[in-house]
Structure 1
Amino acid sequence: MDTEIELKFFIAPFTDKNNHQVIQAIDTLLEQSAKQLQKSTKRLVNTYFDTPQQALRQLDFGLRVRTVDGQSEQTIKTAGTVVGGLHKRPEYNVDIDTQRPDLSLFPSKIWPELISPYDLQQEIKPLFTTDFTRTKWELIFADTQLELVLDLGAVEANDDKQDIREIEIELIDGDVRAIFELANLLTEQLHLRLSNDSKAARGYRLFHGKKLANHAELKAVKVERDISIEQAFINTVQHGLSYWQYHEEVYLSSHKVSSLRNMAQGINLIQHTLKLYQNLIPAKASQSIDNELAWLSQEFAWVDEACACHQLASAKGTFKKRLSNQSKVTEEFSERKKQIVEQHNPIALFYSERYSRLIINLVKWLYEKAWRCYADIDEAQLNAYLLSVADQFQQESWSELKQAMPRKQEFSADNYIDAKDSLNHGLLTGICVGGLYPDDEWRSFRGPWLDIMQGINDLYTFEILQSHLMSHNNEMDLDGRAELLDWSANKKSSLISVMEQSRRSALKVIPYWQY
């Protein structure tokens, strides 16, 4: 058995370097910074197998037959971990003489209880292929043996295909930190983006004809009642990073601005986690990471306006009935959304050096548990149960929310918009530790507050609409504009009335952590 530890990058589709120039750039970098042992180029043809019900996929296993220079090898990769583009998975390789894998050749210990490799063997069939040219550099870098590979080709299924243009850095022997160091050097030379999206995952999507879609919600972090504070902290940061990077992939395939909002939510979860745990994981240990996250959060500051413009342009939800026959208005908001996105160019951001470095350094920080380098770390605190602080975390967020939204104060649209951050803090704290509590109680308590958060977003959209209608750029006739302004004011007033009832009722509920 081998255990792969590798970092995966996608090369920007807009790069000014063709494939030959990418190879030249890597050659130049390695000549300057590494000892090159060997360089080779080969064509790799891989066929991936599974059952009609994708039984292997459900186990998080990947099965393939790879043919190189007429020689075939079957490989199975078992469940591993992926954090921010750093992949760590056990794999088993066996040379074979055919193009069909024989599951009996793999060690029996890899199969979970009640899973019969004999039964699987009867059902497996080829689903998709990958066909690419791999340029491989075997090298010594920072006293560590690494492989750097450039894969150029395509994944194909059902007469559909998707390009492969990616770089992987794999640890062969030595210190895993060398991977991160070399990765940072690569981002200086090429437009790269870290990715968790494997060739196999892309192949399965092509086979099913599916596209990535937004998650319906940011779920609670998976935490058990005996989890330590330190492990809960790691799990929560990983949870935020996974949500962020998943929706990055969704945006790149769909260009939906709602995916950018979800990305921002994942980034905010990491920021909130650093603050929530700051008395346990010293703030100075994460200062540089926190500063870069603050920069990145600002880079997404325009997304709420773009989402509001999209909602108005598509005349959905609250605005559907009234704006569906206002083509001039919806066209203007569609154009405004387009201008905002083009102005900020999120795709260029994803392939930028600073963005990639942030993720590389965050993953490295987690992998090393770099906070343990600080003298004021309390080992006993880190090893204590999350349960010992979970109620306190939530009570502090609850107190912040009650202070920001006093029950006896009558709220306006501006009051609600001003209180959005405090409400978001409370909801994110629930994401961090809510998994410790009964799910029905957790969801029941959060439900009204999630509705209020949606209401705040709708209020902001009304603000955008009203501002647009009152601007000099709007070409509607005065009567039509006045009518739409009156409708908007009435709808906003009705929404605030409903939100006020929900807020006052929700503030009277006994929180689930106080049961």
Structure 2
Amino acid sequence: MEIELKFLLQPDLVTKFTSLIDNAPFDISAPNVRHLRNGYFDTDQKALRQFDIGLRIRSCELATGEKSAEQTVKLAGQDVGGLHQRPEFNVDLPVPTNMVADLSLYEPEIWPAGFDVDEIQQQLMLLFETDFQRTTWHVSMPSGTVIECVLDQGAVKANGQETIISEVELELVSGEVKELFAFAQYIASKVDVRLGFLSKAARGYHLLAGKSLSCVDLNKVNVKADDAVETAFVKSLTAALKFVQHNEQVFCASMSPKSLRKVLDGWSLIIHVMQLFADLIPTAQAKALAKGFKMVRKQHKWADSYYQINQLTSRKSPFKKDIDNSEFLTSLVAQEQWPEHKLMRAVGFFSSREYNQLILNFIQWLSGKAWRNELSLEQLTVLSQPIYVHTQSWLDASWHNLKAVLAAYKLEPDQENLEAIYWPLVESLLTGIVASNVFGDEAESVTNAQMDLLMGCEEYILLSRLESLLVEHQENHQVTPENDYLGWLNAKQSSLNMAIVATVGNVSQLKPYW
């Protein structure tokens, strides 16, 4: 079983990293440098990828000129926020190799159910290649744990396109997983690195498809009615962390406001999951980690207002046409675009010591189920209880809170009561993301209605943000624009408020699916 962590490293920091390793206070072997060329295989229909199987042929050349080759298959395993654990099987090949993969070289028992070896073998083809220099050190920790530290520099190549490889991999050779994290923390405290969740193969598939990584939305977690409390907890936090890391990768590559906002949403989901399970898994470390995510969420709260401005002119904005048709409004909104220095600082934050420490602690705690060490025997029995009973009480509580603010808004549908709906609605939706799958498709109508209401609330927030810009402009310049933009805006708000009143009525009458 391969157990490893992966860091992304900016090419201009390679010298600093190698110097760090050479001078680290551990017993470290001399570096071994090899040139590696890998070919990755699959069928035209991506049959291997559907089974989460990776197949490659690697040719290797040492500095001495000695050559070797091997074929490797990696089967589906576990990936918790960048800690990869996958079964791996290697077969030596003759040199030179002809880059033709052969599945029959492996024992038939390794393949998953439904995997037709003969049929897939006939359809295998070379899809893409990686070409890079690998520098390897073996690190012996004081405890006796041995870690392989690898620096890869090169490129992934497909369809005449390529993307750079500049990454560090830490693999546990023998000993304790906690020592792997300790060494990772040491590196992250000295060099700006960022945890990577995409393998070289995954990047090759993206390059092959001609697509850059794009934002993903929050979807309900695959929690089942018969899942134990602990299983549901791990599933929920793993899904939230993957969501954060995916959109973090998109943001660091593109600096898009949407992707940063989604990272913030992911942090909110992690915090919410911790709160939902707080009585079931009451540990000091869980509270400390939740506090850490609250702090980073608060540090990036500035992004919310800029995101709202960005949304005013986004492709899907109901106000885009009106703004585009007005030179004044276009100019006003343009003045409030995202400041580049803040975006650059946010990109840097994801490689910071502070954030790496939080994420590595979180991954270690989650993958090692470290909460068990803090629980009494009685509390440990709760972990095996079915989650079904608890999901009902969570949904009841969030529904009760939401109905209270909806009732207040129905009595007096003003801006203050509308804004009061927002967070109870968000919390109800976050609870649904964790718990609704337990009840199958019954949750869909409730979720859709709540999403409609959330969309209405967010549109109203956008108009309020635009209103504040208009008022601020008039106060600062002591002039009134030629057109009555505030009148236009108030008419939009009035119309939207009527639609929200109707949606609130619909949501209030929904029957709980639980």
> 1:96 matched to which residue of 2?
93
1:311 maps onto 2:303 in alignment:
no
**In 1, Cα distance between the equivalents of 2:343 and 2:196?**
25
Aligned to 1:320: 320
Rate the CA distance shift 1:304–1:160 in 2: closer, same or farther, 3 A: same
1:418 to 411, 417, 420: 420
From 24, 31, 38, the counterpart of 2:19: 24
Distance (whole Å) between structure 1 residues aligned to residue 496 and residue 36 of structure 2: 59
1:272 matched residue in structure 2: 272
| 1:420-472 Cα deviation digits (max 9, x unpaired) | 22111111111111111121x21101112111111221111111211111223
**1:476 Cα deviation after fit:** 11
CA contact 1:313–1:329 (8 Å) conserved in 2: no
Change (3 A) 1:44 1:402: same
Cα deviation for residue 405 of structure 1 reads 2.7
Residue 332 of structure 1 deviates from its aligned partner by 4.2
Residue 350 to residue 335, structure 1, CA distance change in 2 (3 Å)? farther
Q: Which residue of 2 aligns with 1:170?
A: 171
Q: 1:508 to 1:341 in 2, by over 3 A?
A: farther
Match of 2:202 in 1: 201
Secondary structure in structure 2 of the residue aligned to 1:115: coil
Name the aligned partner's letter for residue 81 of structure 1. Q
Relative to structure 1, the CA distance from residue 471 to residue 128 in structure 2 (aligned partners, 3 Å threshold; closer, same or farther) is same
Q: Please list, as runs of the form range in 1=range in 2, the aligned pairs for 1:88-167 lying within 5 A after superposition.
A: 88-97=85-94, 98=97, 99-141=99-141, 142-167=143-168
Q: Contact conserved, 2:74 with 2:89, CA < 8 A, in 1?
A: yes
Q: What's the TM-score, normalizing by structure 1? A: 0.93
Partner Cα distance (2:353, 2:274) in 1: 23
2:444 aligned residue? 443
- Call closer, same or farther: CA 1:35–1:479 in 2, change over 3 Å: closer
Q: Which residue of structure 2 lines up, in the alignment, with residue 504 of structure 1?
A: 505
Task: Give 3-state SS (helix, strand or coil) of 2:7's partner.
Answer: strand
From 431, 434, 437, the equivalent of 2:436 is 434
Distance in 1, matches of 2:274 and 2:190, equals 31
Residue 86 in 1 paired to residue 83 in 2?
A: yes
Displacement after TM superposition at 1:312 (Å): 2.5
Shift of 1:418: 2.9
Identify the range of structure 1 (280-289 vs 243-252) with the bigger mean alpha-carbon deviation.
Answer: 280-289
Amino acid at match of 2:438: L
For the 8 Å contact 2:30–2:137, the answer to whether it is kept is: yes
Q: Report the AA paired with residue 224 of structure 2.
A: E
- 1:8 equivalent in structure 2: 6
Q: Which structure 2 segments of 5+ residues have no match? A: 62-66
Paired residues, what number?
Answer: 502
CA distance in 1, matches of 2:175, 2:139: 12
- Normalised to the residue count of structure 2, the TM-score between the two structures is 0.93
Q: Secondary structure at the match of 1:345?
A: helix
Where does structure 1 lack aligned partners over 5 or more consecutive residues?
none
Relative to structure 1, is the Cα distance of residues 131 and 90 closer, same or farther in structure 2, using a 3 angstrom cutoff?
same
Q: Counterpart amino acid of 1:321?
A: K
1:399 corresponding residue in structure 2: 400
Q: Does 236-245 or 336-345 show the bigger shift?
A: 336-345
Deviation string 1:43-81 (CA, Å, 9 cap, x unpaired) is: 111111111111111111111110012211010111111
Letter in 2 for 1:379: L
Post-superposition offset of 1:28: 1.6
Equivalent position SS for 1:317: coil
SS in structure 1 at match of 2:23: helix
Distance 2:87 2:73 in 1: 9
Quote the RMSD (CA, aligned, Å): 1.9
After superposition, give the CA deviation of every residue in 1:465-494 in whole Å (9 maximum; x if it has no partner). 1111122377797343x5221111111111
Match of 1:478 in 2: 480
Report which stretch shifted further, 108-117 or 137-146: 108-117
